[in-house]
Amino acid sequence: MQLEERYGLFIGGEWVEPRSGEYQPTVSPATEEPLAEVAYGGAEDVDVAVGAAREAFSNGWSSLPSSERAKYIFRIARVLQERSREFAVLESLDGGKPIRESRDVDVPLAAAHFFYYAGWADKLEYAFPNRRPQPVGVAAQIIPWNFPLLMLAWKVAPALATGNTVVLKPAETTPLTALLFCDVLRQAGLPPGVVNIVTGDGRAGAELVKHPDVDKVAFTGSTEVGKAIQRAIAGTNKKLTLELGGKAANVIFDDAALDQAVEGIVNGIYFNQGHVCCAGSRLLVQESIYEPVIAKLKRRMGTLRVGDPLDKNTDVGAINSKEQLDRIQELVAAGEAEGAEIYQPPCRLPEKGWFFAPTVFTNVAQSYRIAQEEIFGPVLSVLTFRTPEEAVEKANNTAYGLSAGIWTEKGSRILYMASRLRAGVVWGNTFNRFDPTSPFGGFKESGFGREGGLQGLEPYLDFEGKPESLGG
């Protein structure tokens, strides 16, 4: 794999210089070395990209026989599988996540999403009987830096399957796999303008959201920005899906299989350095097993290897950016100041690059910032409970509602908890599982609309003569 020195914008099937004239380096978080220069699109660039997407929508893509559309998307899935090694390395290089995770989770799941939605393209009438589904038009998609290629797949695959065209803005710190994806589109022979990639920062995203010729906005990122987007489209007819922050409770009952539960806790919060919106960042432990759980957890944390993302033995890679590292450090300091007890296993962090040791806080009160705010880092807050009712109350005591975990060997208790936890995804005796067939998305301030599954098609469709809702 050879990186270019400098990347332009991908608009209308071609690489173009940004009209903004602006380029910024993208940096490896593990070494702080620049990898390449990337264009930062401005208002004019967004306008040209939306124009290219509109033209591609009107001149062919939306009227292509749906079975042909399906075959293009199948091709994308296959090319991604064939070039998976390249994508995995680039994802870890640019984003800092362990190569084992890029290789085993991000890239295969991205390919699977394209394969799954490809099959839907010519079956929409069966997914929505009596509703006469129609594509919406031009979809503006803004994705985060924690799963760059996978989030691209979650956005682009259903949009294309439903006959829409796309302008996608990758996150400013992780643009490279989206740019490599343009080469997949070339190999797949996708018609020009069907997918356009405009790299840049929040300014490009804001221009994209407010562009009058955009019909649908899909955003994954922080709740703060999500609210700003919802405000920005107020009064328009744009459709919107938001996949925002979370502060998931991972609830451990006294009859849980403890070793498995501890693996689930570790996977829940230290997977991808905790840069996961559905991370199990609040551990709720039943009081009677508090000591053994914490002891096992600390022991297990001591075996986590923190370091070079490109080493396949690494468990916890680099923090994505200096800005994110600052935020984690600020919240951890707040946790200590508020009176929580901090534990970090002895581990040597690399001298260069942005790293943070796996961290657990005990003696946490519900009101502490580390129990309320999304840290988006490898930091776990532990609370306790006595009864299932108390566990439900504490778990739901947050403005978020993205995910939750339950650990118990009692089946009826899993279903009791699953039906009462106000969260869009509930993992029973497992955590952080994802699949293209499985709808994902939040309750409350974690956003609305679903990605994945049959339900993930709906946000990209209009239905003739049927009610329209912002999220649906």
Partner 1 sequence: MSRLDVRKTYKLYIGGAFPRSESGRTYEIEDANVARASRKDVRDAVRAARAALPEWAGMTAYNRGQVLYRIAEMMEGRRAEFAELSGGEAEVDEAVDTWIWYAGWADKLAQVIGSSNPVAGPYFNFTIPEPTGVVGIVAPEAPPLHGLVSRVAPALVGGNAVVVCASERHPLAAITLAEVLATSDVPGGVVNVLTGRKGELAPVLASHMDVNAIDLAGVEGDRAELEELAAENVKRVVRNGDGHSPWHAAAYLELKTVWHPIGV
231 vs 386, beta carbon nearer partner 1: 231
Residues touching partner 1: how many (CB under 8 A)? Answer: 52
SS (H, E, C) 390-408: HHHHHHCCCCCCCEEEEEC
Helix (H) or strand (E) holding 135: strand 133-135
Instruction: Tell me the Ramachandran region of residue 274: left when phi exceeds 0, alpha when psi lies from -120 to 50, beta otherwise.
Output: left
Q: From 49-57, 66-74, 315-323, 420-428, give the range in contact with partner 1 by CB under 8 A.
A: 420-428
Considering only residues 172 to 201 of the shown chain, the ones binding partner 1 according to CB under 8 A are none
Q: Which residues are catalytic?
A: 243, 277
Q: What is the DSSP string of 223-261?
A: HHHHHHHHHHTTTS--EEEEE-----EEEE-TTS-HHHH
Q: From 75-83, 168-176, 336-344, 446-454, give the range in contact with partner 1 by CB under 8 A.
A: 446-454
Q: Give yes or no for residue 148 binding partner 1 (CB under 8 A).
A: no
Q: From 11-19, 229-237, 308-316, 367-375, give the range in contact with partner 1 by CB under 8 A.
A: 229-237
> How far from 296 is each of 102, 260, 333, CA to CA, in Å?
27, 11, 25
Q: From 137-145, 177-185, 227-235, 285-293, give the range in contact with partner 1 by CB under 8 A.
A: 227-235
Q: Do residues 273 and 282 touch, judged by C-beta distance below 8 A?
A: no
Decide the pairing of beta strands 447-448 and 282-286: unpaired
Phi and psi angles of residue 146, each rounded to the nearest 5 degrees, phi first: -85, -30
115 vs 355, beta carbon nearer partner 1: 115
**Which of 62, 220, 230, 384 contacts partner 1 by CB under 8 A?**
230
Residues ≥6 apart with Cβ < 8 Å to 119: 70, 74
Beta bridge partners of 220: 243
**Which of 2, 237, 367, 412 contacts partner 1 by CB under 8 A?**
237
Q: Give yes or no for residue 424 binding partner 1 (CB under 8 A).
A: yes
Q: Do residues 284 and 297 touch, judged by C-beta distance below 8 A?
A: no
Smallest distance, Å, CB 416 to partner 1? 12
**Which of 354, 361, 385, 448 contacts partner 1 by CB under 8 A?**
448
Interface residue list for partner 1 (CB under 8 A): 112, 131, 223, 226-228, 230-231, 233-235, 237, 242, 244, 399, 414, 418-419, 423-430, 433, 435, 437-441, 443-448, 450, 453-455, 463, 465-472
